């Protein structure tokens, strides 16, 4: 067995839906009992539709939110109840890269300050040393010294994402949580950034949690893939396994729905009926029961648990 870097045990998180005008409080059930591990050196991808709890999961690991239930382990430490002060050293070991390269950089700071900010927080380096390090990192991600004094808005999306990556690398983290780092980018730039991710992983022995909703992107970068639906992890397995033999009906639909940029390969798509239910009132039983084409009575009663269907292939479905 490989060494585990991160482990989530039955994590739950709900948010207050709307507060101001409520008589009875309503909660968005963002993640409902999610468990998985990330092994050292691998790339675990989490896919799923918008609002299914991918980002919340990422945030839970970094403790940007306090989870309601469950445990989070990082590098053999149970960090579930760490205060933000205690998280400080932990955070130097895990960094985040965000979806929106426009929003994740402070528009009022120069690039060198943005990139060197983690050093300011975690080390005692002098300003000069910090700027020196920032310069080196920018070169690694393919930007040059001339960019150091500029502001974020002067860069293109791809460049900004590189800056975000550079910032994440400054403190030599073990884990990078990348929350949809390429979905805002054009395909041509997306390819560059994906390549950069792969290169860096090789060079710095990084572990990635790669969040995305694009299965074709995920296919390129990940070792294992977890599929989420309405705050539940419905399937998790090695990449090849998932594409070859998807077990969960949702995974199957998802895979079939990816438009393939090749008119020659017209294939049969599974068109699901209905919409994703509101995470405020989850369906009873299996969360997918409203759209599933194989739905059975049992699905309306019992929430299926994630079970090992084959070696390293876990799925949460009554049919399996």
Partner 1 sequence: MKVNTEIKKKQEDYKFESPMIELSRKFLKKKVATVSFFFILFLIILAIFQPTPYDISQTDYSNTLSKPSAEHWFGTDEYGRDIFSRIVYGTKLSLTVAIVGVTVGAVIGSILGLIAGYYRGIPEMIIMRTCDVLLAFPGLLLAIGIVAIIGPGLINVVIAIAIYGIPNFTRIIRSSTLAIKELLYVEASQSIGVSDLRLLFKHIFPGTVPALIVSYTMRLGTAIITAASLSFLGFGASPSNPDWGAMLSSGRNYIGIAPHMLFYPGLAIFLTVLGFNLLGDGLRDTLDPKLD
Partner 2 sequence: MSIKLLEVKNLTTEFKTDKKSLTAVKNVSFYVNQGEVVGLVGESGSGKSVTSLSVLRLLPENGYISEGEVLLSQNNILNLDQKSIRNIRGSEIAMIFQDPMSSLNPVIKVGEQLMECTMLHLKHTKKEAKAHAIEMIKQVGISAPEDVFNRYPHQLSGGMSQRIMIAMALSCNPKVLIADEPTTALDVTIQAQVLDLITEMKEQSNIGVLLITHDLGVVAEMCDRVIVMYCGRIVESAEVSCLFENPLHPYTQGLIASVPKIGSGSDILPYIKGRVPDLSQMPIGCKFAPRCDGAIEKCFIEEPLLIQLDNQRQCRCHLVSERGERNA
Partner 3 sequence: MRGYIVKRLLNMIPIMFVVSIVIFLFIHMIPGDPARLLAGHQATFEEVELLKEQMGLNNSYIVQYKDFMVGMLTGNWGNSLKTGLPVGDMVIPRMKPTLILAIFTIVWSVISGIAIGIISAINRGKWIDYVVMIGASSGISLPLFWLGLMLMQIFSVQLGWFPTTGIDGLKSYVLPSITLGAGITAMIARYTRSSMIEILKENYIRTSRAKGLSEFIVVNRHALRNSLIDVITIVGLQFGFLLAGSVLVETVFAIPGLGRLLIDSILFRDYTVVQTVLLIFTFQFLIINLIVDVLYGVFNPKIKYE
Ligand X SMILES: Nc1ncnc2c1ncn2[C@@H]1O[C@H](COP(=O)(O)OP(=O)(O)OP(=O)(O)O)[C@@H](O)[C@H]1O
- SS3 (DSSP) at 208: strand
The 255-294 site mask, x for binding ligand X (CB under 6 A), equals ------------------------x---------------
Among 184, 221, 217, 181, which Cα is nearest to 201's? 221
35-74: which residues touch partner 1 (CB under 8 A)?
59, 62, 64
Could you say whether residue 23 binds partner 3 (CB under 8 A)?
Answer: yes
Could you say whether residue 22 binds partner 3 (CB under 8 A)?
Answer: yes
Between CA 301 and CA 285 the distance in angstroms is 4
Q: In angstroms, how far is CA 287 from the centroid of its own chain? A: 21
Torsion of CA 287, 66, 6, 103, to 10 degrees: 90
Shortest CB 289 distance to partner 1, Å = 33
Nearer to ligand X, 55 or 92 (CB): 55
Nearer to ligand X, 15 or 73 (CB): 15
Whether the Cβ atoms of residue 308 and residue 314 lie closer than 8 Å to each other: yes
Number of residues that bind ligand X (CB under 6 A): 13
Could you say whether residue 56 binds Mg ion (CB under 5 A)?
Answer: no
Radius of gyration of the chain (CA): 21
Among 186, 260, 182, 254, which Cα is nearest to 222's? 182
Q: Which of these segments, 31-39, 105-113, 126-134, 229-237, binds partner 1 (CB under 8 A)? A: 105-113
- In 63-186, where does DSSP find H-type helix? 84-93, 111-122, 127-140, 157-169
Q: Tokens representing 180?
A: 């949809």
Could you say whether residue 108 binds partner 1 (CB under 8 A)?
Answer: yes
Backbone angles phi, psi at 35, to 5 degrees: -135, 135
The distance in angstroms from the start CA to the end CA of the chain is 25
Q: Which of these segments, 19-27, 49-57, 72-80, 158-166, binds Mg ion (CB under 5 A)? A: 49-57
Which one among 49, 75, 117, 214 touches partner 1, defined by CB under 8 A?
117
Nearer to partner 3, 123 or 278 (CB): 278
Binding site for partner 1 (CB under 8 A): 59, 62, 64, 84, 87-88, 91-92, 95-96, 98-100, 103-108, 117-118, 121-122, 146, 150-151, 153-154, 164, 167
């Amino acid at each position: 067995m490989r060494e585990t870097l991160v482990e989530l045990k039955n994590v739950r998180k709900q948010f207050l839906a709307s507060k101001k005008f409520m008589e009875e409080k309503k909660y968005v059930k963002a993640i409902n009992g999610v468990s998985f591990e990330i092994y050292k050196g691998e790339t675990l991808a989490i896919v799923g539709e918008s609002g299914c709890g991918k980002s919340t999961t990422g945030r839970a690991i970094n403790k940007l939110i306090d989870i309601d239930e469950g445990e989070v382990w990082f590098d053999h430490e149970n960090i579930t109840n760490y205060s933000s002060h205690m998280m400080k050293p932990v955070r130097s070991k895990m960094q985040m890269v965000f979806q929106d390269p426009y929003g994740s950089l402070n528009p009022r700071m120069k690039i060198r300050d943005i990139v060197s900010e983690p050093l300011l927080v975690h080390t005692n380096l002098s300003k000069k040393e910090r700027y020196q390090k920032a310069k080196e990192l920018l070169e690694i991600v393919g930007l040059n010294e001339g960019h150091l004094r500029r502001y974020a808005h002067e860069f293109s999306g791809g460049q900004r994402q590189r800056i975000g990556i550079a910032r994440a690398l400054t403190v030599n983290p073990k884990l990078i949580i990348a929350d949809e780092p390429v979905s805002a980018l054009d395909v041509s730039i997306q390819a560059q950034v994906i390549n950069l991710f792969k290169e860096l992983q090789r060079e710095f022995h990084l572990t990635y949690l790669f969040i995305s909703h694009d299965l074709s992107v995920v296919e390129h970068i990940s070792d294992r893939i977890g599929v989420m639906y309405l705050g539940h992890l419905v399937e998790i397995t090695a990449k090849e396994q998932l594409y070859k033999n998807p077990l969960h009906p949702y995974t199957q639909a998802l895979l079939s729905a990816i438009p393939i940029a090749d008119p020659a390969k017209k294939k049969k798509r599974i068109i699901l009926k209905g919409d994703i239910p509101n995470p405020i009132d989850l369906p009873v039983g299996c969360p997918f029961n409203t759209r599933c084409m194989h739905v059975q009575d049992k699905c309306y009663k019992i929430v299926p648990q994630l079970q090992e269907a084959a070696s390293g292939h876990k799925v949460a479905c009554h049919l399996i």
